[in-house]
Amino acid sequence: MEISKAEIASAAAASSGAGNSTQELMGAEVLVKALQAEGVQYIWGYPGGAVLYIYDAFYKQDTIQHVLVRHEQAAVHAADGYARATGEVGVALVTSGPGLTNAVTGIATAYMDSIPMVIISGQVPTAAIGLDAFQECDTVGITRPIVKHNFLVKDPKDLAMTMKKAFHIARSGRPGPVVVDVPKDVSFKKTPYAGYPDKVEMRSYNPVRKGHGGQIRKALQLLLAAKRPYIYTGGGVLLGNATNELRTLVDMLGYPVTNTLMGLGAYPASDRKFLGMLGMHGTIEANNAMQNCDVLLAVGARFDDRVIGNPKHFAQNERKIIHVDIDPSSISKRVKVDIPIVGDVKDVLTELISMIRESTAKPDAGALADWWKTIEAWRSRDCLKYDRGNTDVIKPQYVVETLWNMTKDADAYITSDVGQHQMWAAQYYRFDEPRRWINSGGLGTMGVGIPYAMGIKLAKPDSEVFTITGEGSVQMCIQELSTCLQYNTPIKICSLNNRYLGMVRQWQEIEYSGRYSHSYMDALPNFVKLAEAYGHVGMLIERPQDVEPALREARKLKDRTVFMDFRTDPTENVFPMVKAGMGITEMLMGSEDL
């Protein structure tokens, strides 16, 4: 059921209390009013004793659609997927004790990738806290290291302001998940309610948006004087909705650009200035440019260990680094930078662009042409080539490439799970638009693929939503196929079934002399029948020539969830690869390098 914007606006106006005198409401009702006032359309959750008053309050309203998942982990992932695709705050609701502990993986996943979320958890009544009460757990303690902030609400009169703060903290500055723990009596008791606050002020929390003008000017001078410049961008560009600014900047300068795994889509992959993803499974040209540039502009990217490889090797080449990030704690965390700029990427890039427009100095065209020549030589090695013509066995890359070819001009979202299939999706699906590639990078959580897709499909019912997964990952949240049916969120699952925990097998092959300890997946279910048992369509695809027809058929089944079980080459590995402890240019290019 889609809820119109007008309905939400009228609900929000009603719930803001504008013009209303103070009324007495139960805590649970205040909570629902807060969500309405925040414009929340969907909430993913699972009920239990501690949240039954909240569920009762949901029953009495019809502006927010609650989605009953099958496992709390999936509730948080679905809300997280929704947040990644829409830029809105994702909201989940879980009960106390096991409800919350089940949600922990989802919360940590969102935290690692800086995703704005509010997670409401039920708690035992305030008088029972600390008494080993039934389904009690220390939610604030358990979640403290994996949230941007958390609250335990002890009095219903604080609920409205706490929710206001929670949403503000989740979406401002460096986004992140916020947990609001609500004891049962707090949701039950009545409290005077004078409307949802329209302002929030926190003395200790004031994220900087505008970058320091002097620093930006210094950055400009460095950038224009560069002989071998490089622009390294990450998830922050997507989180800060600054893709247009990034495109303008790159076009003005003509410099090469790369994205991290989390930044894919921040710059169009089809543009020649894009060198592909960098890092452990990045392209030669992207990694070599990172190592050999003389001026690096890092934008909303956090120098992850999967990106810079061995820090000593990375530091061998001298380069000047400009780092734009909204979170001062990201700056010089792993790599020492020369020009830190703390601020929002959109604000900072806008200022940088206007300074470039006003500047009489221009990039050094001769040096840039030489730099591009070097880069093209790296690129000509075509490091993502694979056995495209294989007619015996389905190459996993071929499935992704075929999907990309078929959907590149469509309104499509791609989610993935974690493993080899995730890397092939990142390498072979060439994202041109932001927020189309939805995956877990920081925590690397197997199981996110289906719930992410489910969350997105609800928000984008007219878009096509695909999940690229593996037979290992998909089983971690497979129960959500049931939710997909109940809420009519038809998604297309492309399982690259190699019968292995492939990424683990790859590491065992390369780092553990081929001792495949517990990475072979035997006794797999019949996925076709499993899909059918859940009320969906299942397809088994075993031959390369059937890949395209299967995808075509699945796309035609617009209103059905389709599970495509592609039997892919079990021996295929992800290349290029930077082995643990190696520098980013010390890449394995294929099995011949092993």
Ligand X SMILES: Cc1cc2nc3c(=O)[nH]c(=O)nc-3n(C[C@H](O)[C@H](O)[C@H](O)COP(=O)(O)OP(=O)(O)OC[C@H]3O[C@@H](n4cnc5c(N)ncnc54)[C@H](O)[C@@H]3O)c2cc1C
Ligand Y SMILES: Cc1ncc(C[n+]2csc(CCOP(=O)(O)OP(=O)(O)O)c2C)c(N)n1
Footprint of ligand Y (CB under 6 A)? 417-421, 444-446, 470-473, 496, 498, 500-504
* Catalytic one of 2, 23, 134, 202: 134
The entry of Mg ion, ligand X, ligand Y, none near residue 434 (CB within 5 to 8 angstroms by kind) is none
- 457 near ligand X, rule: CB under 6 A: no
Number of residues that make up the chain? 594
The entry of ligand X, ligand Y, Mg ion, none near residue 445 (CB within 5 to 8 angstroms by kind) is ligand Y
Written in H, E and C, the secondary structure of 160-179 is HHHHHHHHHHHHCCCCCEEE
Rounded CA gap, 89 and 70, in Å?
22
Are 238 and 435 contacting, i.e. CB atoms less than 8 angstroms apart? yes
Rounded CA gap, 382 and 377, in Å?
10
User: Least distance from C-beta 109 to ligand Y, angstroms?
Assistant: 9
Q: Quick check: is 134 catalytic? A: yes
* Catalytic one of 72, 245, 351, 401: 72
Binder among 229, 268, 434, 442 for ligand X (CB under 6 A)? 442
* Catalytic one of 61, 65, 135, 215: 135
The entry of Mg ion, ligand X, ligand Y, none near residue 169 (CB within 5 to 8 angstroms by kind) is none
The residue with tokens 């902030």 is 149
Q: Which CB sits closer to ligand Y, 499 or 560? A: 499
Rounded CA gap, 528 and 389, in Å?
27
Q: Which CB sits closer to ligand X, 54 or 223? A: 223
- 302 near ligand X, rule: CB under 6 A: yes
Q: Which CB sits closer to ligand X, 36 or 467? A: 467
- Half-sphere CA count of 6, side-chain side, radius 13 A: 0
* Catalytic one of 33, 184, 273, 492: 184
User: Least distance from C-beta 566 to ligand Y, angstroms?
Assistant: 11
Are 326 and 346 contacting, i.e. CB atoms less than 8 angstroms apart? no
Q: Quick check: is 72 catalytic? A: yes
Q: Quick check: is 503 catalytic? A: yes
User: Least distance from C-beta 307 to ligand Y, angstroms?
Assistant: 18
Contact segment (CB under 6 A) with ligand X among 163-171, 276-284, 376-384, 554-562 equals: 276-284
Written in H, E and C, the secondary structure of 454-517 is HHHHHHCCCCEEEEEECCCHHHHCCCHHHHHHHCCCCCEEEEEECCECHHHHHHHHHHCCCCCC
User: Least distance from C-beta 418 to Mg ion, angstroms?
Assistant: 11
CA distances from 98 to 94, 135, 286 (A): 9, 7, 44
Which residues are CB-contacts of 273 (< 8 A; sequence separation ≥ 6)?
A: 250, 254, 255, 256, 257, 267
User: Least distance from C-beta 495 to Mg ion, angstroms?
Assistant: 8
The entry of ligand X, ligand Y, Mg ion, none near residue 504 (CB within 5 to 8 angstroms by kind) is ligand Y
Contact segment (CB under 6 A) with ligand X among 91-99, 147-155, 259-267, 519-527 equals: 259-267
Closest CA to 85 of 348, 480, 464, 494: 464
User: Least distance from C-beta 574 to Mg ion, angstroms?
Assistant: 12
Closest CA to 577 of 553, 561, 593: 593
Number of residues interacting with ligand X: please give it, by CB under 6 A. Answer: 37
Rounded CA gap, 487 and 69, in Å?
10
Q: Quick check: is 280 catalytic? A: no
Tell which positions 461-490 bind Mg ion, by CB under 5 A. 470, 472
CA angle at residue 550 from 546 to 551, to 5 degrees? 125
- Which residues form the catalytic set? 72, 134-135, 184, 503
Contacts to Mg ion by CB under 5 A: 470, 472, 498, 500, 502
